[in-house]
Structure 1
Amino acid sequence: MMQLKTRYNLLHLFYWFAYCCISGFIAIFLQYLGLSNTEIGIVTGISCISTIFISPFISSLVDRIKNLTIKKLTVYITVGVGIVYLILSFIKMPAFMAMILYILMYALMLSTVPLLTMIAMNYINDGLYVNFGLARGIGSASWAASAFVFGQVISFVDPWILSIGYFFFIALALILLYTMPEQKNVKTTKEKQGSVLQVIKNYKILFFLLLGFCFMFAGATTIGTYLINIVTNLGGNTSLYGVCMFFMAFSELPVITMAPRLMKRFNSVTLIVLASVFYLLRNFTVCLAPNLIILIIGMMFQGLSYGLFTGVITYYVTYNLDAKDQLAGQTLIGIMTSGIGSTLGNVLGGILQDTFGLDYMFMFIYIVTITGALIIFTTKKINDRVEERN
């Protein structure tokens, strides 16, 4: 049988290929259902803000329900998401009903990301070798490949094909997940698990780093969700959209893979500051791009911005938080990014675009990106002073 490390790597490969079928084509699929940019922003915004409540609730179910493990919970949610996606693709319904179902589907899918991370961290705590950085990097490459492949496919076939792609690849991921060993440390401790609010109270540096990232992620989410509109505004189409998404996601692979090595040589907070600098470069380059070539170059800063931050912050939580706070810490990452950050970017991005046009949406991206960078720079200075005192 394959080594655990190999199986976990392949789990990410198939999971992120399936995940892209939803997250990589949000605007295209919802436009196919007849929604406007404002309605798309409302749908994705509510989905993302829902994760603030859904993610902690789902995480708590593992402790509250007997015989429920993270693995089983991941299976139930991802299968449920697939069923809703098929319903949206093949059953005609009123727009408001489609919006409700998509909100449910997308919110549940977002909530599975912390679970996948915790599977790795539990194995590491059990003394089993799993390279999360490599696995997550493979996931980024897989997401990139999925974006490219389905970007070409939906140039010829309607977006309903995305639901079939999701179901096929998530089935492969779940088969691999089923073959992986149960985790020894799950539910073996009587110590009460920490809450998200306790993590915010006890780890203020982590919270403010995530707060800064939240604002920068809002700008990046606006770009990601409405990238198809940016591409078409520069003369491109869905095929070129897939190419842009491919280069964006593939750039994450080397950076996320190298995150553990970088953390051995450099301070974690310093690396996060570096990631925020590249976020400035990424978002400004994309918004100011005069043509598709410059746009693609801007998207390729994704690895040194999002990729670096994600890799570092995940390990930061693992190595700096108490064991009882691990799950809540990983959940907080999702809340601040996929929850608050994505909501801010999706809702305001859609409204500004429909009401005033792309230029005003770009102005919003400039403001939130600069705000996030300033918060992180300030947090770094405070952290340095704290370390000097200690």
Structure 2
Amino acid sequence: MGYRRINIQYTALQGLFWMLFCVTGGFISFYLQGNGFGNSLIGIITAVFCLVAFILQPMVGNICDRVDKLTWKKLIIILGVPYIITCILLLIVKSKGLIVILFGTMYVITFIYLPLINSAVFAYEKEGVKINFGIARGTGSTMYALVALIIGSMARKSGTKIIPLSGLIIIVLFLGIISTMPVADKIKPEKKEVKHMNVLSFIRNYPYFSIMLLAVLFMFFSHNIIGTYLLQIIQSLGGNSSNLGRAMFIQAVVEIPVLFTFSFIMGKIKVGNLMVLAGIGYFIRAILYFVSADIGMIYITQFSQIFSFAIIAAASVYFTGMVVNEQDQTTGQAFMSGMMSAGTVLGSFFGGAMLDCYGVRTLLKANIFITLAGLIIAICSIVMIRGRKNSEGV
């Protein structure tokens, strides 16, 4: 396999994936609000989408680990077909019920893609191809930022149809890159019989990893309270969808230096410490959102992304790679990225109800305690993992 070529392809793949994620995840509140849904209903709908994704992610990852002929590449291409059909239908249908089902399909498929793309890193590395995940993920943030800015500006003129149209264009490019990439062999330990575990066995076999999953769940709980309802937070301060696009642009851009230099950062700071640092970053981020009094302060708060999501986005992938055995990598990555889905379930249900009943200020106050819980659990997980003899790298 060509080292340079695969790195370029994988970098392009991450870039296109996060463009896709921006379209579905970043503008879900805008899309549903523009189609006549209120805050509480947006929360319920988003939570249902993410609950489905949370259930399917580890199941799909486990199937991919257990079925030799089903590679991450094949699965991505298979799921691309319903995604394309869904985008086309969303440009045509007007029924609110169908819109919810179709957009939910886009949303769930996007979330399922994430662990498959992350597990590809370790599959290629097993074949001797070192993937620079930091640069690839940094490119993803760059493209997310550009798409957020473009769609945020166009949305005011074009309305909600810009969302499925953008998704259609991006998924075609995404699948085009996937089709040109070589398939690495399934990750298997050498000269040993591979014994794959089911989902419940996985949880029992990796108890300390499961505790860190709980910490990440709280971090993404907080992350998605803000992510799903950032439009409403901005509107409470007198802003609009254009301000939302700029805010999303800033938070994505500031991630880039961290992700591009992540290999260097990992050489200086252990991955376990980085997981704790992300918890601290989310705690500070929650406080800054609470004290924000105008749109300018919201823009400044977006810089806290440097120490929160920018760290967890890369560190969680490497942390899983170190703690979980090779043959269970896709399942492990699916559980880790599944916390994003589960966090959105909690954030959507909790956030929508809290917004309608108590308002933005109470929601942002509760967000502080959520991040504090995530930080404490992350510290406990690292302390317990380091008590094991074979965990020096963590």
Q: TM-score, normalised by structure 2?
A: 0.91
CA separation in 1, counterparts of 2:131 and 2:147? Answer: 24
CA separation in 1, counterparts of 2:38 and 2:251? Answer: 25
- What's the counterpart of residue 369 of structure 1? 371
- What's the counterpart of residue 293 of structure 2? 290
Shift of 1:96: 3.4
CA separation in 2, counterparts of 1:331 and 1:234? Answer: 37
SS where residue 160 of structure 1 aligns?
helix
- What's the counterpart of residue 161 of structure 2? 160
Amino acid at match of 1:78: G
- What's the counterpart of residue 325 of structure 1? 328
CA separation in 2, counterparts of 1:320 and 1:66? Answer: 23
CA separation in 2, counterparts of 1:386 and 1:58? Answer: 30
Deviation by residue 1:152-206 (Cα, 9 ceiling, x = unmatched): 0112111211211111122112111111112123689962333343333233332
CA separation in 2, counterparts of 1:385 and 1:66? Answer: 35
CA separation in 2, counterparts of 1:66 and 1:127? Answer: 20
Name the CA shift for 1:65/1:385 in 2 (closer, same or farther; >3 Å).
closer
Alignment of 1:181-260 (within 5 A): 181-185=182-186, 191-260=194-263
The question of whether the paired residues in 2 share the 8 Å contact of 1:77 and 1:108 is answered with yes
Shift of 1:389: 11
Answer with 76-85 or 294-303: which moved more.
76-85
Structure 1: runs of 5 or more not aligned: none
SS where residue 185 of structure 1 aligns?
coil
Instruction: Quote the sequence identity (%).
Output: 29
- What's the counterpart of residue 28 of structure 1? 30
The question of whether the paired residues in 1 share the 8 Å contact of 2:62 and 2:331 is answered with no
Shift of 1:63: 5.3
Find the partner of 2:312 among 297, 309, 312.
309
SS where residue 194 of structure 1 aligns?
coil
Amino acid at match of 2:46: T
CA separation in 2, counterparts of 1:298 and 1:87? Answer: 37
Cα RMSD after superposing both structures: 2.3
Shift of 1:385: 4.7
SS where residue 92 of structure 1 aligns?
coil
Q: TM-score, normalised by structure 1?
A: 0.92
CA separation in 2, counterparts of 1:58 and 1:351? Answer: 31
The question of whether the paired residues in 2 share the 8 Å contact of 1:78 and 1:170 is answered with yes
CA separation in 2, counterparts of 1:61 and 1:388? Answer: 28
Find the partner of 1:265 among 264, 268, 284.
268
Q: Does 1:77 align with 2:79?
A: yes
The question of whether the paired residues in 2 share the 8 Å contact of 1:221 and 1:346 is answered with yes
* Number of aligned positions between the proteins: 388
CA separation in 2, counterparts of 1:86 and 1:389? Answer: 49
CA separation in 1, counterparts of 2:255 and 2:54? Answer: 26
Name the CA shift for 1:387/1:234 in 2 (closer, same or farther; >3 Å).
farther
SS where residue 90 of structure 1 aligns?
coil
Deviation by residue 1:363-389 (Cα, 9 ceiling, x = unmatched): 331221121112123333434555699
Find the partner of 2:11 among 1, 9, 16.
9
CA separation in 2, counterparts of 1:354 and 1:89? Answer: 30
CA separation in 2, counterparts of 1:222 and 1:318? Answer: 28
Deviation by residue 1:321-341 (Cα, 9 ceiling, x = unmatched): 211121111011022222x21
Name the CA shift for 1:267/1:124 in 2 (closer, same or farther; >3 Å).
same
CA separation in 2, counterparts of 1:188 and 1:389? Answer: 19
Answer with 343-352 or 284-293: which moved more.
284-293
Shift of 1:232: 1.5
CA separation in 2, counterparts of 1:323 and 1:188? Answer: 7
Q: Does 1:343 align with 2:345?
A: yes
